[in-house]
Structure 1
Amino acid sequence: MSTPAEDTVEVDLGGRTVTVPRGGLFDRYRMDTPLDEVADDPRVPGVDFFRELPKTQVESPIGPTRTPNFYYSMSSARLTMLAPSSAIRKRLPDQLSPLEIAPGLGVASLMLFRYDVCDIDFYTEAAVGVAVRPARNGGRRTALADVIAALGDDHLHTYVLSLPVNTEIAQVRGHDGYGFPKWVTDLDVDIDDARTSARIANSDGGIDLEFSARTPKQKTHASGEKVSTLTSYTQRDGAWHSTLNQTNVLRSGGARFPSGLDLTLGTGRLSDDLRSLKPIRTIQFDVNTSAQAALHMPVPFSVR
């Protein structure tokens, strides 16, 4: 979704110039949005979750910034698929061997996100990633057992292959600041109680990936009752980092071995990455029709 040029302003992020909505949260507050003002937005279900997560000022490749990045109103979906571990290993960097999955089957995922209200304004994104063992895991379980346990505990560890977004600020912050493989494209994500759908365009304006499915029945959770975490491993400036994302789930539902999914792989980076993992079967479809999140800046991490 693009914004008319006359409704944008230019801002500097570590020497990169990007446009953001004029009068939007980033234009006015530069990552330090007053919670009481956000609470007045009818799209925001509350701000209690964020009052327990104070922001701090840090230096980063995108200049001084406040962290975490707060997502006050969002929705998301995740397709969890079994895939041959041999295909997954081919996509993991050599340096990630300590996180490498065991022979047999591993887990790949397609994730969709819609951020209606956040510190860097509205945007959407999609991701293809692979589940990895928690770093420095010394247990004897297989990687698949680790992932199944993590799904139950709502604490996943992942390496992301693709992460397209639809705004410049999300791309620069995600790529330069976090080390994620982000690029800008036309990307629509719509999630409600009835249906979950997405369309990601390729560089020629055609279809990279399309998805549509009936949204699983949703259950309401009190704020703070169901908080999931996702740790992602990325490389930035030649060094490895881990990034923590905490999600306050407010309405969610899932389906094991779901049917009726309409997934179309077209021509583009996202579909190519998903194909390369050779997914065998979708084992779970999870949707959060209402959630909030805190995305922390990455911290250095040794994978050796």
Structure 2
Amino acid sequence: MGRALMNLSTRITTMKQFAELTKRLKRQRTALLVGVILNAVAMPSWAQEADATAATVDIAGHSVPVKAGGLYQRFHSNPPLSVIAAEVPDIDLSWFRGLQKTKVDMGFESYSPNFYYRNTRVTAVFTADLDRLRELMPTEVLEQVQPLQIWPGRGLVAFTAYAYHYCDNDSYNEIALSIVTNKPGNANLGPISLVGQSLSKDFWGYVLKLPVNTELARVRGVVGYNLPKWLTPIDYRETDKRLVFEIADSETGKLDVTFEVEKLAEVSTEPEWVTNSFTNIGHDGELAYGYAVSRQMSHASNSNADSVSLKLGDGSLSTYIESLKLGKMMKYEYVPDFQSALYAPEPLAQMLSQE
């Protein structure tokens, strides 16, 4: 009888321990689940997307996240056009077949030009305070190029939003804020220079800001081109009548700049070739230049201010733009479909010696 009571007591104790252990495990699982949920809520969506890329590549000692199985991971800026044709058969690759890629050292080994197969861009050109524009350009650059003066005290800046849907660097969005300048080696004749560039479709500028939304685009731009790129969320979407780019502040993650533009109805489908070039200081301290040639398959433009809305917030990019004292919008360019070839930078002296 005594042993039976002892066995019963042991079983009861064991059952109590088992029940307590079960409760403890449930609490731990609940805490773990809550932690996961809280982390998911606290993490911004653009960071979640970055974490979802399971591959990395090395660029000049930087471990850069890329799209697993994407073009860049597989081909490092040199994919065969046959691969592009197989993956996106509706893209017209005829122009790219006439271009030759060359292996280059641009702070890392790459190929020039970099190909952008399917893209969208919209640009608004505004007047801005001429003295402020001059202040923002390095002295060495000003010795070669200056802001174009459209009328006394006023220069021009171009605010451009890009959505690179499919390119050698996979896909990403980019915002460019640039001063419109004369071409190096050419006289600065203000409006006359501007008309000349418009007629020749050969535009020159100095890049002030260039935020992007992938680390691959940031590192390549900074290391390879010495351009003022930084990483921040840039959302692109389109509606029936508008295109919208929303740029977040990189420090707070809050919406900072909204660029909303009209889809123009009368669009030309006659291909047009445009060259956009920039002058800056290279990594070696010498003046350099870079350029992109674009094949615009559909394009339109107007000077109607109602076609463009640039809304500024409280972030660093908005504050910077406000310092330019933007005025009248001079031109709006709507390019829903274009291709581009971006060439590696070269010494400016080399270009000037050839002219």
Same fold, judged at TM 0.5 (above): yes
- Report the Cα offset of residue 55 of structure 1: 0.3
Q: Partner amino acid for 2:97?
A: R
Match of 1:87 among 132, 136, 158: 132
- Is the Cα contact below 8 Å between 1:44 and 1:73 reproduced in 2? no
Give deviations 1:254-298, integer Å, cap 9, x for gaps. 111331532211133332332222111101110110000000010
Unpaired runs of at least 5, structure 2: 1-45
Name 1:33's counterpart in structure 2.
79
Deviation at 1:5, TM superposition (A): 3.0
Whichever residue aligns with residue 236 of structure 1, its letter is: G
The answer (yes or no) to whether the contact 2:248–2:256 under 8 Å persists in 1 is: yes
Aligned to 1:298: 345
What are the within-5 Å matches in structure 2 for residues 1-304 of structure 1? 1=46, 3=49, 5-42=51-88, 45-61=91-107, 63-97=108-142, 98-101=144-147, 104=152, 105-138=154-187, 142-190=189-237, 194-202=241-249, 203-222=251-270, 225-237=271-283, 238-302=285-349
Confirm or deny: 8 A CA contact 1:178 1:297 kept in the other structure: yes
Structure 1 unaligned blocks of 5 or more: none
Q: Choose 289-298 or 184-193, whichever is displaced more.
A: 184-193
The residue identity in structure 1 corresponding to 2:290 is T
Q: Is the 8 A contact 1:107 1:144 kept in 2?
A: no
Bigger Rg, which one: 2
Q: Which residue of 1 aligns with 2:9?
A: none
User: CA separation in 1, counterparts of 2:198 and 2:237?
Assistant: 24
Tell me how far apart the structure 1 counterparts of residues 263 and 65 of structure 2 sit (CA, whole Å).
34
The alpha-carbon deviation at position 148 of structure 1 amounts to 3.3
Higher percent of residues as strand: 1
Give the deviation of 1:88 after TM superposition.
Answer: 1.4
Which stretch of the first structure deviates more once superposed, 67-76 or 232-241?
232-241
CA change 1:83–1:6 in 2 (3 A) is closer
Give yes or no for contact 2:141–2:287 (8 Å, CA) kept in 1.
no
More deviation in 86-95 or 280-289? 86-95
Structure 1 residues 185, 262: CA separation in 2 closer, same or farther (over 3 Å shift)?
same
User: RMSD over aligned Cα, in angstroms?
Assistant: 2.1
Encode CA deviations 1:103-136: one digit per residue, 9 max, x unaligned. 5232111100000100010100001111011001
Q: Judge conservation of contact 1:227–1:248 (CA < 8 Å) in 2.
A: yes
For each residue in 1:29-82, what CA deviation from the matched residue of structure 2 results, as whole angstroms up to 9, or x when unmatched? 111111122123448531111111110001121x21111110000000100111
- Secondary structure of 1:80 counterpart: strand
Cα pair 2:307 2:332 within 8 Å, conserved: no
Relative to structure 1, the CA distance from residue 169 to residue 43 in structure 2 (aligned partners, 3 Å threshold; closer, same or farther) is farther
Asked if structure 2 preserves the Cα contact closer than 8 Å seen for 1:193 and 1:289, the reply is no
Contact 1:198 1:211 in 2 (8 A): yes
What letter is aligned with 1:265? L
- The SS at the match of 1:172 is helix
Distance (whole Å) between structure 1 residues aligned to residue 195 and residue 237 of structure 2: 28
Question: Once the 2 structures are TM-superposed, how far is the Cα of residue 166 of structure 1 from its aligned partner?
Answer: 0.3
SS of residue matched to 1:101: coil
Partners of 1:196 and 1:212 within 8 A in 2: yes
Per mean C-alpha deviation after superposition, the further-off stretch among 66-75 and 150-159 is 150-159
8 A Cα contact 1:77 1:112, kept in partner? yes
- Percent of pairs with identical residues: 26
Q: Measure the CA separation in 1 of the matches of 2:243 and 2:344.
A: 29
**Do 2:257 and 2:312's aligned partners in 1 also have CA atoms closer than 8 Å?**
yes
CA distance in 2, matches of 1:125, 1:88: 22
Amino acid at match of 1:50: F
